[in-house]
Amino acid sequence: MPKNTLYIDIHTHNSQSEIPINTLQVTNLSAHEIPSILNSDQTYSMGIHPWHIEKTILADALSHMENLLKDNQIIAVGEAGLDRAIKTSFDTQQTYLIPQVKLAQKYRKPVIFHCVRAYPDLIAIKKKLKPTIPLILHGFNGNQQIYNQLEPHGFFFSFGKILLNPNSKIHSIFAQIPQNRFFLETDEAEVSISEIYQSAAKIKGVGIGEIEKMVKRNFKDCFGKILE
C-alpha cells in the first residue's frame, strides 16, 4: 500500500481531536447540538438529520446553519434527508429537508443525504428544486433497481463498511459505478477508512493509488478543494 496515500472520508460521526495521518475527514455535525468551538484542523458537514427533527426548531436551526455555512470549515450541508422507517411524519421530514437544500444552493455547498425507502421522493425533490450543487447519497446500500433509478439524475454515491462484506449485493453496484460518481466513508463504523479503500480497490480491480486518484478528483469537483 502506498505510504503517502491520502484517504478522504466523506462522512463520519467519529469526531477526533487528532485526525489520522494522511486522512481528510468530513465530520458530521447535527444542527441541534453544534459544539461551541470547531477544531481548526477539521472540515465538517452540518444539517438536520430526520431522526433529530423532534428535538430541532426549524427556524432556529436554519439560522444557526446559515451563520456557520459562511465558515470555510463547513463544506457541506447534511446529513439531511428522508426516512420512511421512522415515526416522524413524512410531510414534516420534507418540510425540514427542502429549506436545507435551498440553503446549500445559496452557499454553493454540496448536500449529504440520508435516505431510507424514499429514493423516488428524493428524485422528485431534486426535479422540483433543480439544485445545481452536488448531491451525495451517503452509506448507499440500495439494490440494482434503485441504483438504476438514481444514476441518471446525477447523484454521487458514498459507500462505507458494506464494502467489507464479501457477500453484499453492493459489490456488483460498486464495480459498475462510474469512477467520477463515488466517495468512501466510515459513518459510525469502528473501521478505518484505509480498510474501506482496500476493499474498494479490490472490487474495482485496481490499485489503492487509482482509488485515491478517483476520490481526490471527485472531491475537488464537488467541493472545489485542490488537494496536493
Please write the tens of the pLDDT for every residue from 37-71: 788 888 999 999 999 999 999 999 999 999 999 88
Q: What percent of the chain has pLDDT over 70?
A: 95
Position 31 scores a pLDDT of 85
Position 1 scores a pLDDT of 44
Q: Is the bond preceding 79 in cis, omega lying within 30 degrees of 0?
A: yes
Cβ-proximal residues to 218 (8 Å cutoff; 6+ apart), any chain: 156, 180, 181, 182, 183
Assess whether pLDDT exceeds 80 at residue 169.
Answer: yes
Position 5 scores a pLDDT of 84
Distance (Å, whole) CA 198 – CA 27? 21
CB 45 within 8 Å of CB 29 = yes
Span 123-135, pLDDT tens digits: 999 999 999 999 9
Beta-sheet pairing, 156-159 with 182-184: parallel
Q: Give the sheet arrangement for strand 111-116, strand by strand.
A: 7-12, 23-30, 43-47, 74-83, 111-116, 135-137, 156-159, 182-184
Q: Looking only at Cα atoms, what is the longest distance across the chain?
A: 49
Position 37 scores a pLDDT of 74
pTM of the entire structure? 0.95
pLDDT band at 18 (very low <50, low <70, confident <90, very high): low
Assess whether pLDDT exceeds 80 at residue 72.
Answer: yes
pLDDT band at 227 (very low <50, low <70, confident <90, very high): low
Find where cell 472531491 sits: 219
Position 34 scores a pLDDT of 75
Q: Helices 90-106 and 119-129 sit at what angle, rounded to 10 degrees?
A: 40
Assess whether pLDDT exceeds 90 at residue 3.
Answer: no
